Structure 1
C-alpha cells in the first residue's frame, strides 16, 4: 500500500498571480482541495515540506492528509505546477478522497532482473513504451508500481499488460486490447545477419532452379 504524508495548511482568501507571488516570498505555496461534491478550498502549504514530500517520490500515488487550520482532509495530489527554469513547485491541486473510493491513477512500471535478462545480455535493448499505466485502483490500496519480470525475455519479445500480475481490485483503464508496455529490441547486427542469411538462401534457391 502507498505510504502517506501530512502537510499543515491554512485557508486563503486571496487568489491571483500577485497573491501567489506574495505567498512564495513568505515560503508558502498556493494550492487547492477539490472534489467529493464539496466546494473547492483554496489553501496555502509550506514550500519546504511540500518540496521534500514531492522529491520522496510517488507524490501522485500516495494518499495524504492536509491539516487546514485544524480540520483534516484526506487527499491525493492530482497535479502540480513547476517553474519552467528552476523546477520550483508553484502550485498543487489536491483531490479529496472519500473512504472506499476508487481512483484513476498513473502507476509507474518497474522492470525486474534487467541484469540477468537473456535478451539484454545478448545485446538487445529494452524499449519502454509506457513508463506508467493509467489504472483504476482502490484509494486504500494504491500499488507503488507494476512489476514486469525480464528474467526470461528474449530479443524480439513484446511485454504486454497481460504479463503483469495486477494487484487485487486494480485494472487498467484500457480494457479493449492487450497493450504493449515494453519490447526487447533485437541487436542491429543480429537483424542484419538474419537478413543476409535470408538473401543468401534466396540466391542459392534461384541458382538451383536455373
Structure 2
C-alpha cells in the first residue's frame, strides 16, 4: 500500500472566497473533505505541513489521514490549486475513502533494467509515452508503481500494457485497446545507417 500521511486540521466555520482568503492570511490552506455519502466539511490545514506533504510526491495517489480535532478521516487528495505566480498551495479537495472502496488514480510507471536493455545498449532511446497509467485500484492496496521490464527489449520495440504484470485487483481504465507505454527508438544516425545497409542489400 502507498505510504500514508497525517495532517492535522481545524474546521472552517465560514465558506466562500472571503473565508478562504482569511485562512491564507492566517498561514492556513483552505480545503474540503467530501464523498462517501456524507456532508462536505470545510477545513483549514497548516501551510507548512500541507506543502511538505505535497512535495514528497504521490499526493494524488496516497491514502492520507486528516486528524480533525481528534477524529481520524481517511482521504485521498483529488485536486489541488497552486498560486499561478508564487506557486504556493492555495486549496485542496479531499475525497473520503472507505476501507473497501475502489479508487481511480494515476499510477506512476517504473522502468526496470534500462542499463542492460539490448535496444538501449545499441544506442536506442527510451521514449516514454505514458509516465502514469490511470487505473481502478483497491483503496487499501494502492500500488506505488507499475513496473515495465526492459531486460529483453530490442531496438524498435514497443512496450504495451498487456506485457505488464499488474498488481492484484488493479485494472487500467482503458480497456478497448492494448495501449503503448514506451518504445525503444533508434537514433537518427543509426536508422540512416540501417536504411543504407538495407538499400545495398536490395541492390545486390
Q: TM-score, normalised by structure 1?
A: 0.92
The count of residues paired between Structure 1 and Structure 2 equals: 204
| Structure 2 residue matching 1:73: 3-state secondary structure | strand
Counterpart-to-counterpart distance in 2, 1:61 and 1:198:
48
Question: Which digits, 9 at most, give the CA deviation of each residue in 1:177-199, with x for residues without a partner?
Answer: 11100001012122112222333
C-alpha displacement of 1:200 = 3.3
| Structure 2 residue matching 1:162: 3-state secondary structure | helix
1:22 and 2:22 are equivalent in the alignment: yes
Structure 2 equivalent of residue 54 of structure 1: 54
C-alpha displacement of 1:19 = 2.4
Give the gaps of 5 or more residues in structure 1. Answer: 206-210
Tell me how large the CA RMSD over aligned residues is. Answer: 1.4
Counterpart-to-counterpart distance in 1, 2:160 and 2:43:
42
Return the index of the structure with the highest Cα Rg: 1
Q: TM-score, normalised by structure 2?
A: 0.95
Structure 2 equivalent of residue 181 of structure 1: 181
Structure 1 equivalent of residue 99 of structure 2: 99
Question: Which digits, 9 at most, give the CA deviation of each residue in 1:66-108, with x for residues without a partner?
Answer: 1122222111111111112222111111000012101111000
> Where has structure 1 moved over 4 Å in runs of 4 or more?
none
C-alpha displacement of 1:13 = 2.4
| Structure 1 residue matching 2:140: 3-state secondary structure | helix
